[in-house]
Structure 1
């Protein structure tokens, strides 16, 4: 699950670069007395747990997704100046509380938690200098998509008792209030000159209109009613009453809420959308983009150096693609090879079922190879599913949803089957490794399962760590005995090329004034991706500035740490131990990971 404004800042998980640099100067290993350490650690635990509990009260949707169901009848508060002020005061309060602790009296995990928590709060406050609330919806996510996921009955919202159904109906009223507040804030954005680019707003419209149906049985929100008939703990009389109330809620609360926002965006907002696409085109946009780079990489990088790194990687990977072209005996240049791969039916599945079956089958092959490289495994399993139809048109090609913390729901590896030509067979191995095992599923599920880890860290998300790890996991494919078929290796190169192009395109769009078409042309010319897939990718980067930088930057950093460990430890280096060290403490910023791995290397000497 990707976080956006819906989570606001109360569970912000990203710390600024300066914070990371400061953190590396404080040693978690310095000896302190047991009494001092225990006392300070207890205060830290109390502060972080209080923060987590209060954050969930401010963010009921996040509570549901992390398995806390006491707020299942509430939606997040509507956007308002008062609510934003409350969130800011909330973050300031906890920054002041954490500043009262003495980090010299903390060691090990406690010191790490202190550093992460303190700078999360600093970063959350810095985030509020910018005004994402004026663009509360995008094709990549927002209240309109999260609520539909919950209401589909296939996500975190429970539908097992009569009370569950009544709680969702109550939550629907809060959703309607929130959606009305998005109209208010989009209007404020128009006045302030902070509006969505036109092509992005156009993609939101069908996401809204798909829920405005005349026949309620065709609504995604009707699905839980099919389950209602199977519940034996509810009497037939109560089922009848519940169904009547539920259908009424869909017709009179949910559908009108979607329709009000749809009508506003279609009839009014579209006229005020902007022709520019980069963040730098907005007020204070250059500084905003610098913040986004810092947010998603946690490293001291500029747009210019990232752009250059990306250009160099694109050229390198193209050279490796040419080598594959020669290996398979294709006659013609690389562009002809790309065209062949885009257009030939042999490289694509012919049905949604075939896609899901292929990814389910490859799971077994990958799972059998993992013990060679890993000693630490998640307890939770995962399953492969197709992306739901109501969000497939604008969703990413693949994604991962974490398992329920209580074990009641497995992780989900989503494959988008909306456009079968966007799911070539040669991506089968690399995409499975990235999204599932040992990529996102390993990293996120293990993070949730680590015993003794403070709850605020169990559900933290650092893009550079999570996506960097998943791309690094792809690079392990040959070590796992995968990519033996040259076209499957080409698939790995396709994925790596996508991440390299992202470095160029994201910085191009948001720092160098590139147009949407310029970005599309660059990706089409340097890959075999279908144009429809390229368009979806480019529009994703427009909507989520800086997020796409994290993959390649994170992979490079983890790979550099591994190479350093291999060089210093020599025969003592154990790849399984290295991977355990990277994963065992959950997601952390790259500078803190660097310090941690360096200390591990020293301990092995």
Structure 2
């Protein structure tokens, strides 16, 4: 029975009950009915999302689909898109006015997500099925979040390994459709992919990235089973995986790479500038256009340069800001010599931060986090660090992944700001607090709006001042460098995708205004080319949260408590910025009533 039919039958049943009672339903009864219907809808949509994306289920810690990949056939994609349109229609049929306030918030968040999902269908992003950041060529990366604690876990992984040829073939179909439609990525990015594919084409099956889980077993896997699992994995690598990736390499290098485009702008894709405008609105959760965002970026760059000049004077550096940047990029004193030393330093910084968290928050998440290296096969082509959320049920901790590739380009002065952003009180606080929110549907507990999430992460970098962690002026320079990094993004992202900037022009602008190394800057610029609009969300989100903090401080005066404000920002879970602003305004009014506080 379809979900639509189920809701129709439910509607008929409820109507029949009301008529039989020969009396109108009370407001509380209407609210109860609408709320029950809404939560059934949320539950069904959550389950649909996990079925359609087994990888998402695995990342959430739900093992039911660990033996399969997403169906990325054209028929399945069409079915998923139709289901999104159907879901939006079903949601709109629920009486929002009859819902209690918390359910109205959940309704609005889900409506925003579905509306954007339906709107973006016209741009057929699935036709660009690989990027330098990932795709079928790095599919084994999901093993990082799988438990591998029982024989079944290994059997599930073997099933996924056997599914790689079908995933490769389906990816080729999508890419060929993109070629026919002129919907292809920039060649400068795709030139990174052959090396990633080559890492999968191994002569010794034991050196396959897919084989890594079989190099170590936990106690839950009986000794008698291990040799058989290892042998089966070697066979699958040799007979299924390696031939599939050889086939993919042949297609990619002879057909696809020559068909990719020389240009870099999102405006050159099907849909033109409207596509980039959509991405800017979707990622920032605002109505800001490219010109407005570009202007905000220029203002922020100028402001931060002034603060950098002050730090340069404080440390007594003789020379202009460009020379100071070069000093920070190249002086060996600012770099660790080995990956092992760099990892230990990241771990030490994380432990230094932990006891200071009580200064900026009343609620500390229960879920722990750890520090891990980014896998070697993707480290050269990815960012300095990232955060992987814990499992929804709390069975897996969150992890702060750090890039140990070429430690000679990973400066120590950036490590504090980076750790505050990616671990605590940044993304780990945000995601772990979300998982602990009481009385909200699962999609909100694990939801992620880039402007909110990355805005909080960037705002968290500045919380280092409130925590007393920037006593070293070079650490403060690191915070300014990271603030500048996100301000520069506003300029270069809009510059490349809406104003005709070249890749080299963007790299030069970044290098002129930031002490980040050329390795990082090049990877960042390529990320913005391959993920248009996403980088705009960080600074826009940070500016909004900072604006709301200033508003609260002015309104509450001496009664303002930073811990309460930060908790109020996190208590909604991830939401669009407009929703956050409405919530904080209501929180300020409530604080004024409770404390009798009036600011100056």
Q: What do the CA deviations read for 1:214-253 (whole angstroms, capped 9, x no partner)?
A: 111222222211223x5354251x3332222111112222
Matched, 1:95 2:84: no
Residue ranges of structure 2 left out of the alignment (5+ in a row): 1-25, 593-600
TM-score (norm 1): 0.91
Whole-angstrom distance in 2 between the partners of 1:418 and 1:289: 32
SS of the residue corresponding to residue 264 of structure 1 reads helix
Residue number in structure 1 paired with 2:100:
107
C-alpha distance in 1, partners of 2:571/2:505? 42
Map of 2:219 onto structure 1: 231
Alignment pair present for 1:185 and 2:179: no
Which of residues 288, 296, 310 in structure 2 aligns to 1:323? Answer: 310
Which whole-Å CA distance do the structure 2 matches of 1:35 and 1:571 have between them? Answer: 44
Aligned residue among 456, 464, 483 for 1:477: 464
Deviation at 1:65, TM superposition (A): 0.9
Conserved 8 A contact 1:359-1:428: yes
Structure 1 equivalent of residue 58 of structure 2: 64
Conserved? CA contact 1:212–1:255, under 8 Å: yes
Partner of 2:142: 150
1:240-319 pair list within 5 angstroms: 240-319=227-306
Q: Which residue of 2 aligns with 1:46?
A: 40
Aligned 1:555-594 pairs, distance under 5 A? 555-594=542-581
Q: What is the alpha-carbon distance in structure 2 between the residues aligned to residue 239 and residue 477 of structure 1?
A: 48
Q: CA deviation at 1:302?
A: 0.7
- Name the structure 2 match of 1:119: 112
Does residue 132 of structure 2 align to residue 139 of structure 1? yes
- From 431, 435, 438, give the equivalent of 1:444: 431
Separation in 2 of the partners of 1:127 and 1:494?
34
* Partners of 1:304 and 1:419 in 2: CA distance: 37
SS of residue paired to 1:400: strand
Residue-by-residue CA offset, 1:410-457 (whole Å, 9 max, x unaligned): 111111011223310101211110000000010011112223221111
Give deviations 1:499-540, integer Å, cap 9, x for gaps. 011000000010011111111111111122211211101000
Are positions 1:35 and 2:32 aligned together? Answer: no
Verify: 1:395 aligned to 2:390, yes or no: no
Cα distance in structure 1, aligned partners of 2:530 and 2:547:
30
Alignment equivalent of 1:554, drawn from 541, 565, 573:
541
Higher relative contact order (CA 8 A, sep 6+): 1
Pick the aligned partner of 2:503 from 498, 511, 516. 516
Partners of 2:522 and 2:577 lie apart in 1 by: 31
Q: Which 10-residue stretch deviates more, 407-416 or 389-398?
A: 407-416
Contact 2:416 2:475 in 1 (8 A): yes
Partner of 2:16: none
Partners of 2:134 and 2:101 lie apart in 1 by 37
The answer to whether the 8 A contact 1:75-1:172 is kept is: no
Higher deviation after alignment, 483-492 or 327-336: 327-336
Q: Does 1:195 align with 2:195?
A: no
Alpha-carbon spacing, 1:190–1:233, altered in 2? closer, same or farther (3 Å): closer
Q: Unmatched 5+ residue regions in structure 1?
A: 1-31
Q: Match for residue 194 of structure 2?
A: 205
Q: Secondary structure at 1:70's aligned position in 2?
A: helix
Could you say which residue in structure 2 is the equivalent of 1:527? Answer: 514
Counterparts of 1:426-441 in structure 2 under 5 Å? 426-441=413-428
- Equivalence for 1:84: 77
Given that 1:216 and 1:247 are in contact with CA atoms closer than 8 Å, whether structure 2 keeps it comes out as: yes
Note the C-alpha offset of 1:603: 1.5
- Quick one: structure 1 residues 176 and 457, their matched pair in 2 at CA, closer, same or farther if it must change by over 3 Å? farther
- SS of the aligned residue for 1:467 comes to helix
